[in-house]
Copies of this chain bind each other. A is one copy, B any other.
Amino acid sequence: MAAADAEGGEEATADDEAEDVSNAEADAVGSLTVVIRAEVLQQVIDQLLTVVDEAIFRIGHDGLSVAAVDPANVAMVDLEVEPGAFESVGDGMFPIGINIQRLDDYIDGASGGDPVTLQYVAENRSILVEHTNVEVEMAGIDPDYMRGEPDVPEIDHSAEFEADAKVLRDAVENAQLVSDHVSLEADDDDGALVVNGEGDTDNIETVIEGDDLLGANFSKGVKSMFSLAYLVGGSTGGSKYKGILKPLGSGTELSGKIDDEMPIFLDYDFADGFGHVRMMLAPRIQND
């Protein structure tokens, strides 16, 4: 995924990443506390878990930002929550590696508007998570020893569309009935987004158009093919992550961008507009 490669990749050394992770700043903070609603933190966690197990969270005066790419460099999530979504953001900023699955477990008892307090304790690089009647002391991971955050690619796509997340997911899951990959095509003649799965004996095509296509700006007809495992989870098991579309349900308006054999971008907002997600998925090269 040349267009969305991780900076440095797995071979990144601590020195290479030193600037990125702003260690100097983090150490200076000492202790920093932010408070966020449980439902917002949950949405952050759910989306990140579709791509990675652990990631570098940057939390503080600017809210929260996380950029992560999956181990195979195929799927990427770039996520930001503005300070407006926080009950309180404190003064500093700390970058810290977090085991996302564990954090998910630890906030299980909080829901809806319950405030969740995240306190960074620089001394032992840990996070104190507090909500309801629960207090968790959770070990952080030194960002120096984690994979570096990826560079988010800039692409000028030829076709843009808007659709409800469930409509797109249903179409993509249809393709899964016959294949392990799916093509998305902007049909500029009919003003339709055509989602096609091609199997050995059977084909299944879902056409998103009319009322289902909430918006479309196709400067030309384009088409790309993607692995279904990264979109909606592995059909035959074995893929660890559940697919970037999986946490999204009806009511989430997706804004998509595609081009010929280029990565797809899927954007949506959450947390009353204070949260922004961009998911990116590299195309699968067509060999037929």
A interface residues, Cβ below 8 angstroms from B:
102, 105-106, 108-109, 133-139, 170-171, 174, 177, 201-209, 212
The complex places the Cα of A207 from the Cα of B136 at a distance, in Å, of 11
List B contacts of A202 (CB < 8 A): 102, 106, 136-139
Selected A-B contacts with CB under 8 Å, 25 pairs: A102-B177, A105-B177, A106-B177, A106-B202, A108-B177, A109-B170, A133-B171, A133-B206, A133-B207, A133-B208, A133-B212, A134-B204, A134-B205, A135-B205, A135-B206, A135-B207, A136-B203, A136-B205, A137-B202, A137-B203, A137-B204, A138-B201, A138-B202, A139-B201, A139-B202
The complex places the Cα of A109 from the Cα of B174 at a distance, in Å, of 8
**Min distance, Cβ A3 to any Cβ of chain B, angstroms:** 31
Interface centre among A171, A174, A202, A212 (most CB of B within 10 A): A202
The complex places the Cα of A170 from the Cα of B132 at a distance, in Å, of 12
Q: A167 — nearest CB in chain B belongs to which residue?
A: B133
Q: A135 — nearest CB in chain B belongs to which residue?
A: B205
| Beta-carbon contact of B170 and A206 below 8 Å | no
List B contacts of A109 (CB < 8 A): 170, 174
List B contacts of A209 (CB < 8 A): 133
The 4 closest A-B pairs by CB, nearest first: A139-B201, A137-B203, A136-B204, A105-B177
The complex places the Cα of A177 from the Cα of B170 at a distance, in Å, of 34
Q: A170 — nearest CB in chain B belongs to which residue?
A: B109
The complex places the Cα of A180 from the Cα of B174 at a distance, in Å, of 38
